[in-house]
Amino acid sequence: MPSGEPERPAQGCYSINTLMLLMAGKMEETARALDVSEAARFLDEMLVARRVYVAGAGRSGLVSRAFAMRLMHIGFESYVIGETITPAFSKGDTIVAFSGSGETNSIFDICETAKELDGRICLITATEDSRIARIADCRVLLGHQEHADTDISSQYEVRQIIGQYKSISASFAPFGTLFETAALIFSDAIISALIESRHCNLDEVRGRLSNVQ
């Protein structure tokens, strides 16, 4: 599939299957461009983490929760920052932050606190250089932020209210959609790699699936 975005039809919009193919093509581009050393380092961080805490704002937060759930399924002690049952963070623990911009204030504050507590910080992002990237021990770049705008607020809640977004995607998938989709696929690939690395017994995994829904 050509890497460029196809011409928009003169009338109407792209068909749904065309939009899906466009997004799938972007995901393939992102996977092929992934720095294998960054991915390997992230995997190593997961393997040695005492406990894994995840953090993200908005849809990135939903992706982080999905990752924490899968980590629990394969036997990791994992928690979501902000939940009432999340225990105190301490030395030897690892934060996995999902932030397309790497600048969201609330996520930066969480990472900064984790750093002060001698924890490890792993960042999944779409921006090569950011405040969180500068303090992270491990960074995985998925795609890239196509535009930088210093006038855009770094507060997630403010951006939502006024309609500004820092993780900008192609016009057919706006508002950070491609980063969030890539982050979900990447985190699921990490889960698959962890299953192989830890020789997880799938019967044990099934036994950790929720049975009180």
Is residue 11, in this structure, part of any structural domain at all?
no
Is residue 125, in this structure, part of any structural domain at all?
yes
33: domain CATH number is 3.40.50.10490
- Per-residue pLDDT averaged across 156-162, rounded? 48
Query: How many residues are recorded in the chain?
Result: 213
Containing domain of residue 141, as a range?
16-205
pLDDT tens sequence across 92-122: 999 999 999 999 999 999 999 999 999 999 9
Least confident among 98-112, 143-157, 194-208:
143-157
Is residue 141, in this structure, part of any structural domain at all?
yes
Is residue 210, in this structure, part of any structural domain at all?
no
**pLDDT at position 59:** 92
Is residue 8, in this structure, part of any structural domain at all?
no
Q: Considering its fold, how many domains does the chain have in total?
A: 1
pLDDT over threshold 80, residue 181: yes
Residue 200, token pair as written in the block: 């997880």
- Per-residue pLDDT averaged across 65-72, rounded? 96
pLDDT over threshold 80, residue 179: yes
pLDDT category at 206 given cuts 50, 70, 90 is confident
**pLDDT at position 14:** 73
180 is catalytic: yes
Is residue 213, in this structure, part of any structural domain at all?
no
Q: How far is CA 187 from the centre of its chain?
A: 7
pLDDT category at 180 given cuts 50, 70, 90 is very high
Global pTM exceeds 0.85: no
**pLDDT at position 147:** 44
149: Cβ–Cβ under 8 A, 6 or more apart, which residues?
A: 164, 166
Catalytic residue among 28, 180, 196, 204: 180
CA distances, 95 to each of 27, 103, 145, 185 (Å): 25, 16, 22, 19
Q: For 97-130, b where at least 16 C-beta lie within 10 A, e where not — what string? A: bbbbbbbbebbbebbeebeeeebbbbbbbbbeeb
Is residue 115, in this structure, part of any structural domain at all?
yes
Is residue 6, in this structure, part of any structural domain at all?
no
pLDDT tens sequence across 20-51: 898 899 999 999 999 999 999 999 999 999 99
